[in-house]
Structure 1
Amino acid sequence: MIIPWQQLETTTLNNLIESFVLREGTDYGQDECSLQQKVDDVRRQLANGEVVLVWSELHQTVNIMPRTQIINS
């Protein structure tokens, strides 16, 4: 289920984004970016509709995924 990110409290959204960008294996390319840059980038992608927050009933978790991956599944 897609979660409307605009309806989340700012602190909750920040925590979700930070948790996402701090996961091992998240790749940002060859250039190093600060945590704030990564958070800002994900927030921009949410605002642009490139990515969405997805609730997994099975795993009881929230993930950030490309919109195209959700639409095509």
Structure 2
Amino acid sequence: MVEDEQYRADATEEGVEIPLERIDPEILQALLADFVSREWSELSDAGFTLEEKIEQVLQQLKAGQARILFDLTSGSWNIVPVQ
């Protein structure tokens, strides 16, 4: 059962990686705002503003600690940590 759970977790993180520099800056800002709005609500925001949250995620992307993946099957995208 643990193997099945690991497989599902791995499958959800598969997709086509979109290089940061290939995304229009305005679209990137919209993606980041959407991401922190939906994902950060699960975490304690510790008083960070939306702009600060966006900057934190952007810095993780630039540092190679996270990446943007596009799922061709579902047409959805996500930001995932690099492992």
TM over 0.5: yes
Moved over 3 A (4+): none
The whole-number CA distance in structure 2 between the counterparts of 1:57 and 1:3 is 12
The whole-number CA distance in structure 2 between the counterparts of 1:22 and 1:39 is 9
Percent identical among aligned pairs is 25
Structure 1 runs not aligned, ≥5 long: 69-73
Superposed CA RMSD: 1.4
The whole-number CA distance in structure 2 between the counterparts of 1:59 and 1:37 is 30
Name which one, 1 or 2, has greater alpha-carbon Rg: 2
Are residues 1:32 and 2:47 paired?
yes
Structure 2 runs not aligned, ≥5 long: 1-15
- Pick closer, same or farther for the CA change 1:2–1:30 going to 2, 3 Å: closer
Given the two structures, how large is their TM-score scaled by the length of structure 1?
0.83
Are residues 1:67 and 2:82 paired?
yes
Aligned residues: 67
- Pick closer, same or farther for the CA change 1:12–1:30 going to 2, 3 Å: closer
Structure having the larger proportion of residues in helix:
2
